[in-house]
Structure 1
Amino acid sequence: MVSTPFSNNEEAWAGASAWGAADRMNEIEALMWRAERHPRLSSTITSVLLYDVVPDWDRFYAAHEWAAQLLPRCRQRVLEPAVPVGTPAWVIDDDFDLSNHVRREHLAGPGSMSQLLDLAASIAIEPFDRTKPLWQGTLVEGFDGGRAAYILKLHHSLTDGIGGIQLMSLVQSRTREHTEDKPAGEPPHEASADANRLAAAEVSEQARRLPGLMRRSVGLGVRAALRPQGALADATRFGASLRRTLSPPPAAPSPLLRDREGTSWKFGVLECEVAALRAAGKAARGSMNDAYIAALLGGLRRYHEHHGQPIDGLPMVMPVSLRKADDPMGGNKFAGAYFAAPIGIADPAERIATIRGLVLSLRIEPALDTLSLAAPVLNRAPSALGGLLFERIGSAADLSASNIPGVPYPTYMAGAKVERFFPFGPLPGVAIMAAMVSHNGTCCIGLNLDGDAVKDPDILVDCLRQGLDEVLALAG
């Protein structure tokens, strides 16, 4: 994974114009956008931030006004070309109204975490208005202890998890005090807001790129002819990798998580110290991510044993970031790695070691990014085909788990300190979506559970908490 914690606000603001600067979606973003069938195949990502105090509403709203000017993507909507010859464009919404995107809620007493998570899930499962900018922020007052929370909802076509952390690094502050002389945003480059012109421009661009593509194709053919044995070996390796990455994980689906409809979302949270989870992974010669996955699997082992249906393996997918250090901020650049999760291993140290080997082997698969190769074809076919593919890909796994590096320092929003940052991914066919952000020394784990598949979410979350405690015990 590539993390981008900025050393100060000035460093972050200097690169603000690069966040989401592309005029068009990339092929993966377009596929997520066109294949979405909400809520079963949702592409909504949600964050719940806990504040230590209630921020002043006027200052909080003004901070969003500034952010919307700093980051043009906040004011842009999606425009589809008249015919699917290319990916959708981002264009300025002439009717943009910030009040449609920044809201205010108040929890009734006692303002518990359970109430907050229920509210966040209800907000997350509401579909976006696809004619407007694809984000929504809600300040929640009345939270336990006189505190507040912030629920931020984004469409996945805007960004992936790391891009989301970059976004929050840009708009949050390193101090509680008001920052004077913040930079103003520059007027965005305006793409054509006409669907017919957009399609014509895409055809023209493809025609312009065609000679270069032909030259590269000829060059590849010449190189293959000059070294036929090497080309054959490369093709054989890629073919073998393709079979491994496209084949269903060698584990039977869980008998407890079959009824997946995605019509009801249940949120849960776990947390622990970053240092403790890292030490637990190190104790078993693994990483913090290996320890995190091992904790989830230990919890799922307990859950299945609780129901009298122990299993040895479970099909799982793990997003792998494909970002490089010099990639632009925002957007999406990831691939999904499928494998059989070793749930049946009772010893947490052995489980971590096994996961370590699996993850290292998956990251070097030549065909890991296969979906990017297929996306251009699918994006020019009827959207129902992309939806069918997404459903088959998502339903191939019971569990999805991602780990997103956060910031190691305190952050503030309108004078309120961010105490926790819980991420919640969408449910693209899986039964359980787990995501972890490390924020200022705390691992914040957000769980999105398909309420149709998980009939007893409280029991599952408790089992996962026990799995986490079991792994943390390795750190002594």
Structure 2
Amino acid sequence: MSDATIEFPRAMGEQDAMLWRMERDRRFRSTLLSVTVLDAPPDRARFTAKIARMAAEIPRLRQRIVPMPELVSTPIWAWAEDFDLAYHLRFLRLGGAGTMRELLDFTAAIGRQAFDPERPPWEFYAIDGLREGPGGENGAAILWKMHHAVTDGVAGVRIMRHSFDLAPDGDLRAAPPPRALEPGEDADVARLSSEAVRERLAQVPGRLWEGARKAVDVARDPVGAAQSAARDLASLRRLLADMPGPLSPVMTARSTNFHVDAFQVPIAALKAAAHAAGGTVSDAFLAGVTGGLHRYHARHGKPVAALNASIPISLRNAAADSDVAGTHIAVARLALRIDEPDPARRIRAHHAVVAEARDEPAQAYSDVVAGVLYRLPLPLALRTYAASATKNDLVASSVPGIPAPVFVAGARARAFLTFGPLSGAAVNATLFTIDDMANVSLNADAAAVPDLDALVACVREGFDEVLALA
């Protein structure tokens, strides 16, 4: 996906619309949080100019979400006529001792606040006064809060690159003038609805062509087509099958409160450990997390063999989705064994089970399933979504990062922490690499995991065990 060719459709995609609608229940808010820890405060004027340029170049950052009748269209992205950069970009200073704990608690507090529905769903906070952590004694941080509907993790990295530089001097160009809006251009809901319908209808010829192509395939090979349809149907049944759970006997409670923490490990060591075990970096990351969760349950005197895990799988390899903004993922739902004591075997076992889930034909129907859920009556939609989402013990994501030094308005980034939404689970664990470090970020439901320090200590031990393979 190149930044210059990202498409920004008027209507939300089916997955984004479903997630947006599920937020009527606060447990299912889809807010993404990222914290870039810097070794010095960024130059205020340069950083302001950088974000102004980013907002001017990326249309979605100047658009708000307008609800539509579910049977007519998904919600619409409309230009925010009163867009005010000063609302979205704020400068502040930590008021206490400047600890990482203070920064992380502030991050969680900001994440719990709902977006203003009349404004584009993103906010930047430039935070001074950080006195410890990866940034050192004169550190700072950049907190970005963004709704998942703006984009998924993979494309989000590309958007975030507009705020980064690969050298201390960086790009000092001024922001181009934003797109001029006609008075009342996006105030007419009826016209917006018509535009959305026309946009959908424009997709019909392509779908008809695809249908015709499949019809030809059926005529050429009816037996093969029938077998393929049967495989897809069986896969869809597995995807939608009810799961017992949650499986954790410890992380059972759920709330609307969460807390976050993170740590770093050398990416070279994580790669070496993965290679030694015959897996990938994502497999090694997952093995570190599950090893930690096994220790956490043992510490509570309630060991468990497996946990329900949801693992997002990017669908952006498909050409049709590679340059379109929004969420383009499928979710692998599986019972993940965590009781394998050998870290190498655990890495290989995770690799096998995730690969099997990734190859399910039904993953291609994620948008269809989301569209059905979006159009159900709201009480039924919420009950259906909650019945599945709250059975998850863990959400685990590995996002490709930036394998080079990164600078923000002259300050060097020393850590990049990414906290994904819980979406009903007890814990979300996310891996993001930057330069030579792998950042492991944990978001935990405060009711499910009241002792976050204990969980972090256990997960650190799980990673120590994995890194010993290097």
- TM-score between the two structures when normalised by the length of structure 1: 0.90
What letter is aligned with 1:157? Answer: A
Aligned to 1:111: 98
What letter is aligned with 1:264? Answer: N
Alpha-carbon RMSD across the aligned residues, in angstroms, is: 2.3
Is 1:285 aligned to 2:293, yes or no?
no
Given candidates 241, 249, 272, the residue that maps to 1:247 is 241
Given candidates 172, 191, 195, the residue that maps to 2:189 is 195
What letter is aligned with 2:222? Answer: P
Is 1:42 aligned to 2:35, yes or no?
no
Is 1:428 aligned to 2:423, yes or no?
yes
Percent of aligned pairs sharing the same letter: 37
Q: CA shift at 1:192, angstroms? A: 4.8
1:391 and 1:428 in contact (8 A); partners too:
no
Aligned to 2:310: 317
The CA distance in 2 between the partners of 1:220 and 1:418, in whole Å, is 50
Aligned to 1:296: 289
Q: CA shift at 1:312, angstroms? A: 0.8
What letter is aligned with 1:99? Answer: A
What letter is aligned with 2:141? Answer: A
Is 1:156 aligned to 2:148, yes or no?
yes
Aligned to 2:74: 87
Aligned to 2:134: none
The CA distance in 2 between the partners of 1:210 and 1:161, in whole Å, is 29
Aligned to 1:9: none
Q: How does 1:385-424 map to 2 (within 5 A)?
A: 385-424=380-419
Moved more, 383-392 or 31-40: 383-392
Given candidates 44, 54, 57, the residue that maps to 2:44 is 57
1:73-99 deviation digits (Å, cap 9, x = unpaired): 211111223564112221211111111
The structure-2 alpha-carbon separation of the partners of 1:92 and 1:209, relative to structure 1 and needing over 3 Å to count, comes to: closer
1:45 and 1:153 in contact (8 A); partners too:
yes
Q: How does 1:183-262 map to 2 (within 5 A)?
A: 184=176, 187=179, 192-206=186-200, 213=207, 216-217=210-211, 220-221=214-215, 223-249=217-243, 253-261=247-255
* SS across alignment from 1:197: helix
The structure-2 alpha-carbon separation of the partners of 1:185 and 1:423, relative to structure 1 and needing over 3 Å to count, comes to: farther
2:46 and 2:172 in contact (8 A); partners too:
no
2:79 and 2:186 in contact (8 A); partners too:
no
Aligned to 1:12: none
1:81 and 1:198 in contact (8 A); partners too:
no
1:378 and 1:386 in contact (8 A); partners too:
yes
* SS across alignment from 1:449: strand
* SS across alignment from 1:62: helix
2:49 and 2:175 in contact (8 A); partners too:
no
The CA distance in 1 between the partners of 2:238 and 2:222, in whole Å, is 24
Given candidates 168, 192, 197, the residue that maps to 1:176 is 168
1:393-419 deviation digits (Å, cap 9, x = unpaired): 321310000000011111111111111
Structure 1: which 5+ residue stretches go unaligned? Answer: 5-14
Structure 2: which 5+ residue stretches go unaligned? Answer: 132-136
2:262 and 2:439 in contact (8 A); partners too:
yes
1:72 and 1:188 in contact (8 A); partners too:
no
The CA distance in 1 between the partners of 2:4 and 2:25, in whole Å, is 31
Q: CA shift at 1:57, angstroms? A: 2.3
1:136 and 1:152 in contact (8 A); partners too:
yes
Given candidates 334, 338, 342, the residue that maps to 2:337 is 342
